[in-house]
Structure formats: C-alpha cells, structure tokens
Amino acid sequence: MSVPFDMRKLFVAPQTFYALSDFSNPGKLFKSTDAGVTWARVDAGLPTNNGLPPGFVTLAIDPTNANHVFVSGPRGVFRTSDGGHTWTKANGRLPAHSYHSNLAIDPHNPATVYASGSWGVYRTIDDGQSWSPIVGGLPPFAFESNDTPIAAGWLLVDPQHPGKLYGGTLYTGIYTYTAR
C-alpha cells in the first residue's frame, strides 16, 4: 500500500480509513474505503476552505456507520453524516477553545458523543447540537499538555458497558465515569 501523502494520524473503522496528512499536504483529511489503495480528500466542506489547519486535533468514527464522523480542530467541533462530503458545526454550548478536545462516539448510541479538553469532559446526546458537562473531580487541565496547546490523553467508551467512559489523562492517571 502506497499512501500519496505523509500521514500524521490514522483513524480506522471497518473497511474505512481516515488519515490526517502531514508534511506533503499539511492539515488535510483523506478517506479510503478500499484498505488504503486509493484516497480522497474529505475536508473541503470544513470552514477553512483549504483543509484543516495544522492545529487539527482528533477525529472519532461512529463504529456502526463509518460515514458518521466527528472532528475537532481550530474552528471547533464538526460532524459529517456522509463521509466528509458535507460538514456541520457541532459544538453547541461547548466551552471556548473546544477544538482542544478528544472525542469518542458511544457505540451503543451514536448520537451520544464525548469531548474532553482543559475544560473537563462534556457529553452530547443530540449529535452535537448541545453539550453538557458530565465529569467533576478531574484535576485542572487533566487533558491538556503543558508543552503544546493541544489535547492530551484519550477518551474511550466501553463497548461492553453502555454509558461507561474511560479517560486517560496526561499526568494524573485514568478515570472512569458511568453516564446515567
């Protein structure tokens, strides 16, 4: 498999790859539906008009539908339901600087998405139209690096237990939360 760009990050769903490019096409998002044989750019509908700026943080793919994707970047959180042909702003009521976030889609209910950043952990149950804080007790800036202004750590929704969320922080360990 030869990739026509330098890859910075790869995100995998069944039979679909999303990749963020690096040096040859900085900040651009590509998609492959044939195990990486061919790639198409899918960031044209995002508000920068020239792809994702270098501050692109992360992407979350719905495990039940690889065309339902959330992405966070310098202009906020966006979602697509058509594999990247069109994008919709999806950071209603997230704190300012919501682009510094990790994202996780609940495999049991794909309209439920979690986002974390220096402002804590938020959840949407309406596909990004509105967000609410869900986790208290995290140390300040648990999900942010002191070295760079980007998200650190990770979020994961337990595929075996609906509503159970794991958050790996940069300096303070792993936290769990069960949504009610």
Question: Burial of 86 by CB count in 10 Å (0-12 exposed, 13-18 middle, 19+ buried)?
Answer: middle
Structure-model confidence comparison of residues 104 and 52, the more confident one: 104
83 secondary structure, DSSP code: T
- Could you tell me which residues come within 8 angstroms of residue 38 by beta carbon, excluding any fewer than 6 positions away? 32
CA pair distance 67, 118, nearest whole angstrom: 28
Beta strands across the sheet bearing 102-105: 102-105, 113-117, 120-124, 132-133
| Bridge partner residues of 59 (DSSP) | 71
The domains found in the chain, sorted by start residue, are 54-178 (2.130.10.10)
CA dihedral 93, 135, 100, 129 (to 10 degrees): -30
Sheet containing strand 76-80, edge to edge, reads 58-62, 65-73, 76-80, 88-89
pLDDT band at residue 163 under the 50/70/90 scheme: confident
pLDDT in tens, 87-121: 888 888 887 665 557 899 999 999 999 988 777 78
Q: What is the pTM of this model?
A: 0.84
